[in-house]
Every structure is written in C-alpha cells, then in structure tokens.
C-alpha cells in the first residue's frame, strides 16, 4: 500500500464500515447493509480518517468516491477482512432463517436477467433476511476476485485460470438472434444470410469465448473473425438486431427466457451448435464456512441440470 500506513491496532468493525462504504459509494446504503444508523457510519469514518490521516472519501452528487489512499487501503484489506468476518460469523454457525448475511456474486448482464431471479427466489424461500449483491463479471479478474474474498462466487461460460474451485452447473448451446422479418429454413438461419448480414458480438470479457471459437472453426466466408460491432453486454444485442438488421450468435437457453423486442427472433444455426459449459467459480476452501456452503449449495441446486 503506497499512501496509507496501517495502525498497530484498529477495530475490525471500523474496517467493515470502510469496506461497505467503498463498495456502495453511499453512506446510507452502507448503513443499511451493516444494519446500523447513518450517523454511526459517519462516526466510524471520522475515526478512520483520524487513524489514517486521510479524508478517505470525497462527497459527490450521488454519494462518495474514494481517495487514492482509500483505494490502496481497500486493495490491502478487503480480501483478508472478508475471510476473517466469514470465519467469525461461522463460529456461531450459519442459520439461514435468521441470518442477515450479504453474499456477493459476479454475473454477466445475461446472468442477471436469466439466472439471478431464480437464485433470488431460492434464497428468499429459506433465508428471508439474506441479501445478494451482484458485481459485473470480468473474466480476466474473476479468479483474483474470488481468491481475495471480494466475491463469494461467480458464474461464467468460460473456465478461468487460477487456483479456484470450478464446477459445471449446466450445458448451454448457441443460436442466432436475427431480425424478425428474416426468412428461415425450417427454424434455421440460412448460411448465405449468416454470411451476408452484419454481425454484432459480445466481447470476450463477458466470458463467452466459445462464440469466438465457434466463428474460427466455421471457416472463412460464413462469419468474419472481426465483428462489425462489439459490445460489452448481451442485453443490448436484441435492440441492435431489431433496429439495425444485424445478427448475433447468443446462448440460446438464456435468451429463450428473455422477452425479445418485436423486431428480433431466435433461429437455430445452420450447422451443429457449439455447446458451452456454464461454470460456478468459488474459493477452493469455500466449503470451510457454513454460510458460503449454504449459498453455493443453493446456487447449485437451483441452476444445475
């Protein structure tokens, strides 16, 4: 850590407050998450500013933003603190019926739309006080996010590098999102249409590298190796297809659960669809705590085929 020196002793509850403010960027939201009053959060931040001789957060129009020193501090303590808190809470044994634990999971926007509602229904059924916070999935950093304790789990369609636990939840396959007025061949897009129409594609950071791999194996003349437009999120694709006349190769099971605009529809590919394994990513010793075990088991039982 470059700009902040850790005091010899400090109340862990102050650091928990700091982490919640950093993650939420809002004192009110942090107070709600910690189940304390906003004045209590403000008082904790005042003590932390004295400890570290730094303002830590600067007010904005919608909340607060961290200083450079606060960013350095968060990078140092967020992972170890998450593990300490998890172990401490586990000492009293996790009771889903009374717990107010917050779990953090990384998902793509498609995961939020297609998978998250099922997870929320399952957690609420047995743990009404538990909350779930979703963070955007970045396939390149997800392993470190899990190992540091910044998130409890992630769901991705690409395996990740790193000493994390990975298990297959279910298999998904791909279809083609096309303009609604495009003629089809018994429910499939024609090869000439697939090669003729401009393509929209989601970037690899979203975790669906199987799409790019499929394009490579199809050979020249069907799809370009470089898309005409690349976007970071899946949920914009139906509107690009509907309004601009593009095509997009997408995970069919996830998109089948979404409400598409009237100008777009799903068609099967004109060749055997590539499949992809949807993985649950977690810390290799996540099952050492009963709270995390419960959350991972809930996700598994809800989404696994």
For residue 290, the model assigns a pLDDT of 82
CATH annotation of 1-92: 1.10.10.10
- Residue-level pLDDT at 288: 58
**Contact criterion met (CB below 8 Å) for 227 and 101:** no
Q: Per residue in 39-54, pLDDT tens?
A: 999 999 999 999 889 9
CA separation for the pair 215, 157 (Å, rounded): 16
**What distances in angstroms separate CA 275 from CA 19, 72, 172, 197, one per listed residue?**
39, 41, 6, 23
Query: Which positions ≥6 away from 71 have C-beta within 8 Å?
Result: none
Bridge partners of residue 267, in order along the sequence = 176
Return the closest-CA partner of residue 45 out of 75, 72, 25: 25
For position 208, what pLDDT does the model report? Answer: 64
CATH 3.40.190.10 range(s) for the chain read 171-276
pLDDT of amino acid 161 = 83
Q: What residues form DSSP beta bridges with 104?
A: 133
Distance CA 24, CA 9 (A): 25
Q: How far is CA 234 from CA 49, 113, 246, 286, in A?
A: 41, 10, 14, 30
Q: Model confidence over 137-183: pLDDT tens digits?
A: 888 889 988 888 888 999 998 788 888 999 999 988 888 999 999 99
Is residue 269 within 8 Å of 176, Cβ to Cβ?
Answer: yes
| CATH 3.40.190.10 matches 171-276 | yes
Report whether 166 contacts 174 (CB < 8 A).
no
Output the pLDDT for position 187. Answer: 92
Token pair of 9 as six digits: 């002793």
pTM: 0.70
Q: How many CB atoms lie within 10 A of CB 241?
A: 28
* Span(s) in the chain for CATH 1.10.10.10: 1-92
Which run of H or of E encompasses 200? strand 200-202
Predicted pLDDT at 5: 54
Alpha-carbon distances, residue 252 vs 12, 55, 69, 183, 249 (angstroms):
46, 49, 45, 19, 9
- Is the C-alpha dihedral spanning 271, 107, 178, 213 positive or negative? negative
Q: Which residues of the chain have pLDDT under 50?
A: 1-2, 219
Return d(Cα 199, Cα 201) in angstroms, integer.
6
> For residue 1, what pLDDT is reported?
45
Through-space distance between the first and last CA atoms of the chain, rounded to whole angstroms: 44
Q: What is the dihedral of CA 225, 226, 227, 233, to 10 degrees?
A: 100
């Amino acid at each position: 850590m470059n700009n902040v020196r850790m005091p010899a002793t400090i109340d862990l509850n102050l650091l928990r407050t700091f982490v919640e403010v950093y993650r939420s960027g809002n004192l009110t939201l942090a107070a709600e998450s910690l189940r304390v009053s906003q004045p209590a959060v403000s008082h904790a931040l005042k003590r932390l500013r004295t400890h570290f001789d730094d303002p830590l957060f600067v007010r904005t129009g919608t909340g607060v933003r961290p200083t450079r020193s606060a960013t350095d501090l968060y990078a140092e303590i967020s992972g170890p603190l998450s593990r300490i808190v998890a172990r401490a809470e586990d000492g009293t044994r996790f009771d889903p019926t009374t717990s107010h634990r917050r779990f953090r999971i990384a998902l793509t926007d498609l995961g939020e739309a297609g998978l998250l509602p099922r997870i929320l229904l399952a957690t609420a059924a047995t743990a009404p006080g538990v909350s779930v916070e979703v963070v955007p999935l970045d396939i390149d950093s997800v392993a470190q996010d899990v190992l540091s304790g910044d998130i409890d789990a992630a769901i991705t369609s690409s395996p990740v590098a790193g000493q994390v636990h990975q298990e297959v939840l279910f298999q998904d396959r791909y279809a083609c999102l096309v303009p609604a007025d495009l003629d089809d061949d018994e429910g499939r897009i024609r090869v000439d249409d697939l090669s003729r129409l401009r393509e929209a594609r989601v970037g690899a950071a979203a975790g669906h590298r199987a799409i790019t791999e499929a394009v490579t194996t199809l050979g020249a003349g069907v799809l370009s190796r470089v898309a005409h437009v690349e976007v970071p999120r899946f949920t914009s694709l139906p509107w690009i297809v509907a309004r601009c006349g593009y095509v997009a190769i997408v995970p069919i099971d996830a998109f089948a659960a979404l409400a598409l605009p009237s100008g777009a529809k799903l068609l099967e590919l004109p060749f055997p669809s590539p499949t992809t394994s949807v993985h649950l990513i977690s810390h290799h010793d996540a099952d050492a705590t009963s709270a995390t075990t419960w959350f991972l088991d809930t996700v598994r039982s809800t989404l696994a085929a």
